[in-house]
Amino acid sequence: MRAKDARIIREQETIALLESDAPGGILQRALAPAGWELESWQLGAVHHRPGAGVTGVYSIDVRPAGDACGAQRRSSPVPGPAPLPVPTHACITSCVIQQGADAVAVVHRRGAGALSVWVHPFDPLLPGLPLALDPERSTPFAFGPGLEPGDTLLELRSYRPLRRAVVLARNGDERRYLKVLRRQGAASLAERHRMLRAAGVPAPVLAGEPMQDVVAMHPAPGTPLAELLMRDGATDVDPAALVHVLTSLPPAVLALPVRPPWAARVRDYGEGAVAALPSEAARIRRLAAAIDDAVRSSDAGPLVPTHGDFYEGNILITDGAVSGLLDVDALGPGRFVDDLACFLGHVAVLPGLHAGYAHVPQALLRFLRAFDEQVDPAALRSRAAAVSLTLVAGARSRTGGDDGAAEALSRLAVAEQFLTEARAVAGRRRS
């Protein structure tokens, strides 16, 4: 058996384990050394990164060990300046974690790889997450001196275990977004924001210097494009506005590290889709191979400055123009067509996400026609197909059950439709 095939099987087995009844015992073994007894737990989401591993996020209810009445907890052996609050979430991962990481329990399994477990917010690869979720420490960092920590409300807006998190901090009328990154990641992200701001690109304004790999930012102005798409298909947004902000990225972006586009790993992401929809394995693998072939046979265009994760959730609009460009972590050299395809691939799956996106099919055609004038249409569609396929696994892990399977299948159908269109365009060109 090839190493890649063995890895795929291991990851599929891990997903099945994390979605089974087994995590209860694993979580209890990890909580016991900290003095907690698990009363109940529930799977929240499964994050699968093909080739990197699988992580499950669980909500948990606990009580101090040996205290059936739920008395006040005793002090925890987990390092910290004060007794820690009662844990409400925990994570189990098959990803490789450096041995000796603080607050991580390793559970060995007979005949299988070890699993690492931690209690939120002590993510071993996001050392700044406890800071971002602590009002006492995050208030002066995010807002400066003079505001009371007791007035700060913190909301975890997004969390990708072992990768990044975003926390919304509110204090009175003031708001800040705290982005938590891996070690050594904050300085480079801050530099990207400064680079874009200096070039007139509307990235969020920094609220200060990074601390413990956390970047504090002022909110960018505008309405999320996703909201406008739901409202009326974003009829007041000219596709040229999106083209403009991308072509405004400064030449200095070309000096940043190159990150491969989503389409470059479409076969690997296909295996993530297989794990989410095992009954469609043959269909998905045929599709991934066909998309890969179409991508490789089309004209990607020259290397230019690119955003790297350009989709409706990262775009804010004011009076039809882009007034906020978010999540610039992946900023770097790339192909213009991949930014446009990333946008189309995400927008196309929105109707399967929520019935409120009824205007999206018409909007999609409008953006697609405009983008066809900027890049090779076959390349645009084949890469949009790749992006939509990468989103299949996320639909199943986000929703779960029959609803998750239905959403995943709808995304699979979107990828197939984009590929059909890419082939049709290429065929007309040859005839």
Q: What CA–CA distance (Å, rounded) separates 98 from 102?
A: 10
Question: Is pLDDT at 77 greater than 90 in this prediction?
Answer: no
pLDDT exceeding 70 applies to what percent of the chain?
Answer: 92
pLDDT band at 78 (very low <50, low <70, confident <90, very high): very low
How would DSSP label each residue in 21-66? STHHHHHHHHHGGGTEEEEEEEEEEEEEETTTEEEEEEEEEEEETT
Own/partner pairs for 227-230, CB < 8 Å, 24+ apart? 228/317, 229/312, 229/347, 229/350, 229/357, 229/359, 229/360, 229/363, 230/350, 230/354, 230/356, 230/357, 230/359
Lowest mean pLDDT among 86-95, 169-178, 214-223, 398-407: 398-407
Structure tokens at 173: 């009328």
Beta-bridge partner residues of 332: 306
Question: Is pLDDT at 73 greater than 50 in this prediction?
Answer: no
pLDDT band at 275 (very low <50, low <70, confident <90, very high): confident
pLDDT exceeding 90 applies to what percent of the chain?
Answer: 75
Mean pLDDT within 34-57: 90
Q: In 3D, which of 376, 336, 155 has the Cα closest to residue 253? A: 336
CB 280: neighbour CB atoms within 10 A?
Answer: 17
Q: Is 223-430 CATH 1.10.510?
A: no
Roughly how many angstroms between the first and final C-alpha of the chain, as a whole number? Answer: 42
Q: What is the mean pLDDT of the chain?
A: 91
CA 333 to chain centre: 20
- Give the start-to-end residue ranges of the domains of the chain: 3-119, 129-217, 223-430
What one-letter code names the amino acid at 403? D
Query: Residue 111: its pLDDT value, please?
Result: 67
Query: Residue 82: its pLDDT value, please?
Result: 45
- The fold adopted by the segment(s) 129-217 is Phosphorylase Kinase; domain 1 (3.30.200)
Q: What CA–CA distance (Å, rounded) separates 228 from 240?
A: 16
Maximal CA-CA distance, the chain: 78
Query: Residue 3: its pLDDT value, please?
Result: 67
The pTM (predicted TM-score) of the whole model is 0.91
- The string of pLDDT tens digits covering residues 347-400 is 999 999 999 999 999 999 999 999 999 999 999 999 999 999 999 988 865 555
Query: pLDDT: is 18 or 401 the higher one?
Result: 18
Contact yes or no for 76/146 (Cβ under 8 A): no
Beta-bridge partner residues of 335: 303
Query: Residue 255 class from Cβ within 10 Å (0-12 exposed, 13-18 middle, 19+ buried)?
Result: exposed
Lowest mean pLDDT among 59-68, 147-156, 311-320, 371-380: 59-68
- The string of pLDDT tens digits covering residues 291-316 is 999 999 999 999 999 999 999 999 99
Query: Residue 70: its pLDDT value, please?
Result: 47
What one-letter code names the amino acid at 46? V
Q: Give the containing element (helix H, strand E) for 284.
A: helix 281-296
Q: What CA–CA distance (Å, rounded) separates 410 from 2?
A: 31
